[in-house]
Amino acid sequence: MSSLTLYRANGVSSFIPHVILKELMIPFTSVVMKSGSSGWEAIDGSLNNLSYRNIHPQGYVPALQAEGVIITELPAIITYIASLSTGEINLLGNDKLQCAKVTEWMAWLSGTLHAQGVSMYFRPERFTDDISQYDSVRLKGKVAVIKGLQRIEQSLDGSNHPVGASETAVDFILPMFWYWSVRIGIPNLQESFVNFGNLVKRMEQKASFKEAAQLEGLNLYFE
């Protein structure tokens, strides 16, 4: 197996590939990033934002280096990592239809719920140059997140997993949206989204979640 380098930051979306690498017991090197005055830069000083943009053109995290190739965008990173599994675990689905559904979920979570919900709340400056409109943008993002949570909750009605009868990459992705919802201040999470909460509780019992969370200083919700 080729060596992997994950460019990540604590408590953000790169937590997801971090957990999956731990779950699949795939060796990798972490380059931990922090938010500096110009954007993401390495905590150890090995990369400033300008040099990091030679790795990730937009300067975001995560990025993954594999076989000398840089992979960006979370769905692509997760898909590649999941493809490296050498055991019985198949996080990309057990047949072609499940594979398509996993891809569908990742596209929606990344392109809609994150980009048009979570990001609107935490990064209103990406959507308007008018500071006076930031609160309006945040509110719109919060409403979009609530709608997304409702869709997730409905998809888990009568099932422990969003795709198929066993864990896929989607099970590992969804808890991060729960954590963002806590930070956004979505009210009555446990009461309103029981199925989703049960999934998060189950995933947090995994050693991979606990280890990655401890390394990142992330407080798990049900622990």
Q: What are the pLDDT digits (tens) for 106-133? A: 999 999 999 999 999 999 999 999 999 9
- What pTM value is reported for the model? 0.95
Task: Give the pLDDT score at 142.
Answer: 98
Amino acid at 52: Y
Does the pLDDT at position 204 exceed 90? yes
Banded model confidence at residue 223, pLDDT cuts 50, 70, 90? confident
Domains and CATH numbers, the chain: 4-83 (3.40.30.10), 96-215 (1.20.1050.10)
Which candidate, 23, 145, 149, 10, places its Cα nearest to that of 78? 23
How far apart CA 27 and CA 69 sit, in angstroms, is 17
> pLDDT grade, residue 176 (50/70/90)?
very high
| CA gap 102, 202 in Å, rounded | 19
pLDDT tens sequence across 19-31? 999 999 999 999 9
d(CA 56, CA 42): 13
* Contact between residue 79 and residue 70 where contact means Cβ atoms under 8 Å apart: no
- Residue 45 scores a pLDDT above 70: yes
Contact by Cβ (8 Å): 209, 2: no
Percent pLDDT > 70 in the chain is 99
2: pLDDT strictly greater than 70 = no
pLDDT of residue 79: 98
**Does residue 50 register a pLDDT over 70?**
yes
Residue 1 has pLDDT above 60, yes or no: no
Q: For residues 141-155, give the mean pLDDT.
A: 98
Tell me the H-state helices in the chain. Answer: 15-23, 49-52, 74-83, 96-108, 119-122, 134-155, 169-184, 189-192, 194-204, 207-216
